[in-house]
Amino acid sequence: MLAAGFFVCGFHVAFLGTHLPGVIAACGLQVQYGAWSLAMLGLFNIVGSLAMGWAVGRWRMKSLLSAVYAARAISVLVFVLAPKTGPVMLAFAAVMGLTFLSTVPPTAGLVAKFFGTANMATLFGIVMLTHQIGGFLGAWLGGKVFEATGNFDLIWGIDIVLAVGAALIHLPIREARVGVAAG
């Protein structure tokens, strides 16, 4: 379940990192919004990752992961429905930045919690492989969809479905509540 969710994370991260400037161009916005949006994505990625590092000690990691993926689905849906203006683009980039790599602390934390730290590098590496496969598909499929249709509409739909799926797939993970020793 963690690997499936991290696949979706990779899909989102690579799609946005690769195609956000193209999305902006396709919306008819000025070129500088591409650079500004990537900068907002990066800046808010730092904020989101630090905040998640703080949050994993206070709430169940599976719940945090579900919330992040649900936030991504809602954010993309709102973005798709919103008028494509510069401020909308920057706000979207900021929100997506908050969720960008904030999945890493709880995913790594759950791997360590379930399997211990002795084999953490190998096991997280396997989970990271699914992230990289998702990343490949996000970047590649984004380009193929745009090439075939002239827009990103289909890829946004796929993105929303994947995010909802990732939010739901983390819910059945069996994780003890914070502060309760697993036995």
The pLDDT of residue 179 is: 52
Q: In angstroms, what is the C-alpha Rg of the chain?
A: 17
The pLDDT of residue 177 is: 59
The answer to whether the beta carbons of residues 7 and 133 sit under 8 Å apart is yes
The answer to whether the beta carbons of residues 15 and 71 sit under 8 Å apart is no
Q: Is residue 143 part of a domain?
A: yes
CA pair distance 61, 157, nearest whole angstrom: 27
Q: Is residue 154 part of a domain?
A: yes
Torsion of CA 137, 160, 15, 89, to 10 degrees: 170
CA pair distance 35, 33, nearest whole angstrom: 5
* Burial readout 1-25 (b: 16 or more C-beta within 10 A, e: otherwise): bbbebbbbbbbbbbbbbebbbebbe
CA distances from residue 159 to 13, 40, 58, 151 in whole angstroms, order as listed: 11, 20, 29, 14
Q: Is residue 162 part of a domain?
A: yes
Domain holding 33: CATH number? 1.20.1250.20
Q: Is residue 10 part of a domain?
A: yes
Residue-number span of the structural domain to which 116 is assigned: 2-169
Q: Is residue 57 part of a domain?
A: yes
Residue length of the chain: 183
Q: For residue 122, which phi and psi values (nearest 5 degrees)?
A: -70, -50
The pLDDT of residue 118 is: 87
Residue 180 Ramachandran class (φ > 0 left, ψ -120 to 50 alpha, else beta): beta
Taking only the tens of pLDDT, the chain with its 183 residues reads 889 999 999 999 999 999 999 999 999 999 899 999 999 999 999 999 999 999 998 999 999 999 999 999 999 999 999 999 999 999 999 999 999 989 999 998 888 888 888 888 899 999 999 999 999 999 999 999 999 999 999 999 999 999 999 999 999 888 765 554 444
Q: Is residue 176 part of a domain?
A: no
CA pair distance 152, 80, nearest whole angstrom: 10
Record the pTM: 0.88
Q: Is residue 125 part of a domain?
A: yes
Split into its structural domains, the chain has a count of 1
Q: Is residue 179 part of a domain?
A: no
